[in-house]
Structure 1
Amino acid sequence: MQQRSFTIQQSIDKETSIGDIMPFWDDFGYVNGYLDLLAGTDINTSQNAMMEQSTHILIVPSLPNFVITDKMRIVDEKKYYSVTYVDDPVSQHHHLELYLTFGGYNV
């Protein structure tokens, strides 16, 4: 399986033409990795509730030079996923596991 590129987006507030402030998703960075669907048995029951709500996992083999938080989302072509949990297993800085929830389709 070959790695694919994913866009990391963060929400920023922008002023509309009538002066309202609206959230807008803006590209923040890019990572290469492997996206996979989680089955109910793939999640350890002792992990927190945010991980239990996740539907997908993105494995990022090489750490990016920026911080990914649960306030961001991942875009894969026309689909987007909310980040529910970011895990640096055993704090070894070897790779990241991003737990995601499918959010919908970009139009």
Structure 2
Amino acid sequence: METQWFDRGWGHLEDDGRQAREMELRSRLLMNLQQGITDKGWNRDHACRWLDLSAARVDALLAGKIGAFSLDDLVALMEQADIHWRVSQQDKALLDHLIREQRAGTGA
């Protein structure tokens, strides 16, 4: 059996390259959001109030349930929590690629 290598962590789970890139970005945002919540010292109740989420949604967030949150959800939550994300060159390339794909798909 031939070994396959993937340049992104989600490539082996997603058949579609665009989905793999989006999952990679969502995972990075989710980890940054989790770290920001930890750094702020928020407990679950505080996170529920600050982020205007149910306890179940905060639990999903803290448990890393990436499928429970869209890319837009994660960006909005980071903004609401005032958590900033330093975009690396790799992240910038990923974002640029996703934006180009989205524009190509919408005809913009």
| Higher relative contact order structure (alpha carbons within 8 Å, sequence separation ≥ 6) | 2
Question: Shorter-chain TM-score: what band?
Answer: under 0.3
TM-score computed with the length of structure 2 as normaliser: 0.25
TM-score computed with the length of structure 1 as normaliser: 0.25
- The structure in which a higher percent of residues are strand is 1
